[in-house]
């Protein structure tokens, strides 16, 4: 009897997962359709870019600063043991630009931006504001969803580039705690270990990070159920799903880059 119940539960779970995947695919195709179809909500797009980018800047900057300091200070003793202290700038630059900077910044944005989208759109869905927009002859999907996803797709890469620069500067400060290295010499040593093939995939994947952050946040918000409790669930689910999607995308990017 228990075996039958477990089997039925597994089948039901798989059906829900396939249904959810189908909903995401339909949501994605609708986004692409509304994105290329005029009219374009430029004013709302710029405003959402300001919210996603500028409003996230302080948190991202502080995180990047601490990340660069901690990575440098913790790595230096191990390199000193092997007499490879001169490799510290290159090690930090490769670690930050290729992996740590994009992933940590994307997770910060997932926690701040995706949860915000989920809570905001969820509350609008629960209070029937989205239905009111449709009655007023406004396309809520284009105005609310397309602008937010497009904004995060463009803003997250910019935040990652800024976070990488701040982390490297923080690493320069940490190196000068024990030694005296000029800023020019530090960046020459740091960038000498990087190739174009290292920077390009790291930059490209940030666009996908920003896209899934906006996509999942908006999807969870628009599919919030009735009741105020569902708003919190939508925000929480948006953070968890976006964070998991970031790790999966990062894994796929590493595998593809390794094959190339």
The answer to whether 170 and 119 have CB atoms below 8 angstroms apart is no
Phi-psi map region of 232: left, alpha, beta (phi>0 left; psi -120 to 50 alpha): alpha
In degrees and rounded to multiples of 5, residue 257 shows phi and psi of: -65, -40
- Residue whose structure tokens are 């409003």: 55
197-222: per-residue pLDDT in tens? 778 888 999 999 999 999 999 999 88
Share of the chain above pLDDT 70, in %: 94
Among the residues of 192-228, which ranges form H helices?
196-222
Q: Which pTM was predicted? A: 0.89
- Is the per-residue pLDDT at 191 higher than 90? no
The answer to whether 74 and 175 have CB atoms below 8 angstroms apart is no
Measure CA of the first residue to CA of the last residue in the chain; give whole Å. Answer: 51
pLDDT of 85: 76
Share of the chain above pLDDT 90, in %: 35
CB burial readout 226-247, b (16+ within 10 A) else e: eeeebbebbbebbbebbbebbe
160-177: per-residue pLDDT in tens? 999 999 999 999 999 888
159/203 Cα distance (integer angstroms): 11
């Amino acid at each position: 009897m228990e075996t039958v119940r477990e089997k039925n539960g597994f089948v039901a779970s798989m059906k829900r997962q396939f249904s959810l995947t189908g909903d995401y695919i339909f949501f994605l195709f609708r986004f692409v359709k509304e994105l290329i179809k005029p009219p374009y909500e430029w004013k709302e797009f710029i405003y959402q870019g300001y919210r996603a980018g500028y409003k996230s800047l302080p948190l991202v900057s502080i995180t990047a600063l601490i990340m660069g300091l901690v990575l440098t200070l913790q790595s230096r003793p191990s390199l000193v043991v092997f007499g490879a202290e001169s490799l510290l700038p290159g090690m930090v630059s490769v670690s930050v630009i290729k992996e740590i900077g994009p992933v940590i910044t994307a997770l910060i944005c997932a926690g701040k931006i995706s949860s915000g989208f989920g809570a905001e759109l969820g509350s609008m869905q629960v209070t029937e504001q989205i239905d009111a927009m449709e009655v007023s002859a406004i396309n809520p999907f284009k105005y609310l969803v397309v602008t937010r996803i497009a904004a995060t797709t463009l803003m997250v890469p910019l935040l990652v580039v800024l976070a990488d620069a701040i982390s490297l500067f923080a690493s320069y400060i940490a190196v000068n705690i024990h030694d005296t290295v000029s800023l020019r010499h530090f960046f020459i040593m740091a960038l000498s270990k990087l190739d174009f093939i290292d920077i390009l995939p790291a930059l490209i994947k940030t666009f996908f990070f920003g896209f899934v952050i906006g996509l999942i946040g908006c999807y969870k918000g628009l599919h919030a159920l009735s009741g105020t409790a569902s708003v919190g669930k939508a925000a929480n689910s948006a953070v968890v799903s976006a964070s998991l999607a970031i790790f999966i995308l990062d894994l796929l990017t590493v595998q593809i880059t390794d094959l190339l």
